[in-house]
A and B are shown apart, each in its own frame.
Chain A
Amino acid sequence: GQQVMQIPQYQHVQEGEDFTTYCNSSTTLSNIQWYKQRPGGHPVFLIQLVKSGEVKKQKRLTFQFGEAKKNSSLHITATQTTDVGTYFCALYTGTASKLTFGTGTRLQVTL
């Protein structure tokens, strides 16, 4: 089945710095979803991208889907301590609405 590589695995930033995580695939993706998991919490759906080149924003978060639909990125501008957590990309497989999750990027933000 389709798989995605997520990079980096971990990033530590100072509050106010920007952060980007990438999700890459060797095959064309039909869509991509992003989830956030706070420490000790459960994954929470953030956004879904389905169109080539699509860009969506949620306040300081910008999500992009590559033109070739083989990669996606999540960019956070001016990180805050509330952004701490692990960010996962996920592929919708279609069968029984299953998702295949990337391994996640853990973000640590310090003052």
Chain B
Amino acid sequence: DAGITQSPRHKVTETGTPVTLRCHQTENHRYMYWYRQDPGHGLRLIHYSYGVKDTDKGEVSDGYSVSRSKTEDFLLTLESATSSQTSVYFCAISRPSGGAPDTQYFGPGTRLTVL
């Protein structure tokens, strides 16, 4: 694996509360990503980062913000959680693939339930 950890692994929270999920990598990769996974939708990109303090939106970014103050950490924040944000969240890094396009390696995921 690519030395990616996510915390917490499970969280139950209430509607309207702020939630922050953490992704930590040990291999100094430039690109990091946050996805959400829901039945019937596969993996959808929320936000991504291309360097320290450099982030951009993905396809489902509404209601989420991110920060990357250090290469190794990428934080995903739900400012005011809603039930529609109940999902499994995966962090990923992109790794060079020997001349071919980069491939991605995923963390173990965080299961978030918003009541």
Contacts and interface: CB of A to CB of B under 8 A. Distances in A.
Interface stretch (B17-25, B37-45, B77-85): B37-45
A29 to B, nearest CB: 11
A69 to B, nearest CB: 14
Contacts of B41: 103
Contact of B104 (A9, A45, A50): A45
B105 interface: yes
Given A98-B48, A104-B42, A43 B106 contact: yes
Interface residues of B, number: 25
A42 B42 contact: no
Contacts of A41: 108-109
B56 A96 contact: yes
B40 A103 contact: yes
A103 B42 contact: yes
Main secondary structure of the interface of B (DSSP, over half): strand
Contacts of B44: 101
Nearest to A92: B101
Interface in A15-64: 30-31, 33, 41-45, 48, 50
B12 to A, nearest CB: 18
B31 interface: yes
A102 interface: yes
A44 B106 contact: yes
A90 B103 CA distance: 10
A30 B100 CA distance: 11
B42 A31 contact: no
21 contacts: A6-B42, A30-B101, A42-B106, A42-B107, A42-B109, A43-B104, A44-B106, A88-B42, A92-B101, A92-B102, A94-B101, A96-B31, A96-B56, A96-B94, A97-B31, A97-B102, A98-B45, A98-B58, A99-B45, A101-B43, A102-B42
Interface of B: 31, 33, 40-45, 48, 50, 56, 58, 90, 94, 97, 100-109
